[in-house]
Amino acid sequence: MVASLWIALVVICLFLLKGPRKLLCLMGGKSSREDSGRRSIRSSSSSYYGAGGGGYPQDPAPWGAPVYSPAQQTQAAYQNHNPRHEGYSSPQREGYAVPYPAPSTSYSTGQPNTGRRLERKYSRIADDYKSLDQVTEALAKAGLESSNLIVGIDFTKSNEWTGKISFNHQSLHRIGDIHNPYEQALSIIGRTLSAFDEDNFIPCFGFGDASTHDQDVFSFNPDESPCNGFEEALSQYREIAPQLRLSGPTSFAPIIEMAMTIVEQSGGQYHVLLIIADGQVTRSVDTLSGQLSSQEQKTVDAIVKASQFPLSIILVGVGDGPWDMMKEFDDNIPARSFDNFQFVNFTEIMSKRVSQSRKETEFALAALMEIPSQYKATLELGLLGHSTGKSPDRFPLPPPVGSHGVSSISTKPSRSTSFQQSAPVYPGYDTAPSTAPSASNSSWDNNVCPICLTNPKDLAFGCGHQTCCTCGQTLQTCPICRSEIATRIRLY
């Protein structure tokens, strides 16, 4: 009885002297310490960041401490200054896709290794330049040492009408006194990158015409030789373009695979593939929502495979668009070794109300600003300077036209394509602006559906344009003039 009274007296004294928290700590020590530990971690984290990093970080929580979310773990890693975390940064800010690992760090010293120094040297260039010469100088300062240009030109049939708004109703491939959008884009990029090309040879290819469709590419030269500088590339383009019969469908897979083959044959030299196109990859009307068409899937697969090579891909969109799918390609293609694809809307930039030189500079910046970080990625991934043995081994078709003017147009059928047509080629575009199709178009071109390029036209819209019933029955707007479809007339 006396002992019980003494215990009660001691408890009362402790309560008065230390307060209820100390009393609970003595009575249930283990769980109280763990709870106190939780509070100390949260409070130290709050005080550390709230004070702008001025306070000293706390020691890491012991094993058995509560499990935190990934964001809290990242915060704790910075708070504790663990040297294993100092060499890492967000890969996506440096132009990498998620699968690319962060640059490695020296664990023994806690200091970043050479990879980290490369990360500082090879970076995106700024956007405050006023001339192409300044852009070239900025690329060199950002770390770009050498680059070889490859060019792919889109010759699909939609080029005939996607210049309605942006090119005064003319075909985007119209050759005249004023450079068309293809010539402008090639000239600007060629001038900017020529300083980094040691031999100045530019392999040039076309795709999407009646000889290649979505299966092949053709070389600008009969012997498959590259063009000597962008001036010769422009000259060959101006000679070839008026003679081709535009067709389709659109796929970028063949030109990307051709570029991979060239990189492999060069022994792993760094290349930039410039694709200039007027539209998105073909998506047929029977492709379900959430699925990719055959051309889209092959293009995605080619971009992913190209990330295993020292190859950057720049897609320049000319004409009226639309470009929503190309922006998706730029942002959301998964499973790449590095972010190797860049889309640039040429029309949007060149329609700004600024001087021509300023527009050219802005376009070059938009197209090339990620090249230094992509070049750095190929260095750190060990892709430069050797063959991989994984090349698609593509071979280009010969030009579908003669190389010495209209009179020498070849009638020899091209090889390795099951889509070859025997209809005559275009003798040339009229040099005067016109809103109507050229009278020189063949009867095959006049009667075939402009969407699938296979079925005959048997459905007319209120605007007067025609498609086949299969393609036209679900359209909301005319694919030619973009006007809303209110009337459909079946043709027999």
Residues 107-164: tens digit of each pLDDT: 233 333 333 333 334 445 565 677 788 888 888 887 788 889 999 999 999 999 999 9
Domain ranges in the chain are 121-380, 448-492
Res 22: pLDDT: 47
Provide the pLDDT confidence category of residue 332 given band limits of 50, 70 and 90.
low
Contact 425, 289 (CB under 8 A): no
The helix (run of H) or strand (run of E) holding residue 456 is none
Joined tokens for residue 104: 């490695």
Distance CA 32, CA 464 (A): 82
Cα dihedral across residues 461, 465, 470, 472: positive or negative: negative
Residue bearing the bigger pLDDT, 59 or 477: 477
Provide the pLDDT confidence category of residue 293 given band limits of 50, 70 and 90.
confident
Q: What is the DSSP string of 25-47?
A: HHHSHHHHHHHHHHHHHHHHHHH
Contact 319, 279 (CB under 8 A): yes
Q: How distant is the alpha carbon of residue 360 from its chain centre?
A: 20
Task: Note if the bond before 249 is cis, omega within 30 degrees.
Answer: yes
Provide the pLDDT confidence category of residue 211 given band limits of 50, 70 and 90.
very high
Q: Please say if the pLDDT value at position 227 is more than 90.
A: yes
Distance CA 59, CA 45 (A): 11
Residues 355-377: tens digit of each pLDDT: 999 999 999 999 998 898 899 89
Over range 452-456, report the average pLDDT: 79
Distance CA 412, CA 452 (A): 25
Q: Please say if the pLDDT value at position 400 is more than 60.
A: yes
CB atoms within 10 A of CB 129: 18
121-380 fold: Rossmann fold (3.40.50)
CB-based contacts of 260, cutoff 8 Å, min separation 6: 302, 305, 306, 309, 311, 391, 392, 394
Q: How far is CA 422 from CA 209, 242, 289, in A?
A: 13, 18, 36
Q: What is the DSSP string of 103-147?
A: PPB-TTT-SB-HHHHHHHHS----S---SHHHHHHHHHHTT----
CB-based contacts of 90, cutoff 8 Å, min separation 6: none
Res 194: pLDDT: 86
- Among 3.30.40.10, 3.40.50.10470, 3.40.718.10, 3.60.15.10, name the CATH number for the domain at 448-492: 3.30.40.10
Over range 21-49, report the average pLDDT: 40
Res 254: pLDDT: 98
In terms of DSSP bridges, do strands 459-461 and 341-345 run parallel, antiparallel, or are they unpaired? unpaired
Residues 403-417: tens digit of each pLDDT: 433 333 333 333 333
Per DSSP, the three-state class of 226 is coil
Q: How far is CA 90 from CA 99, 133, 364, in A?
A: 12, 31, 26
CB-based contacts of 109, cutoff 8 Å, min separation 6: 83
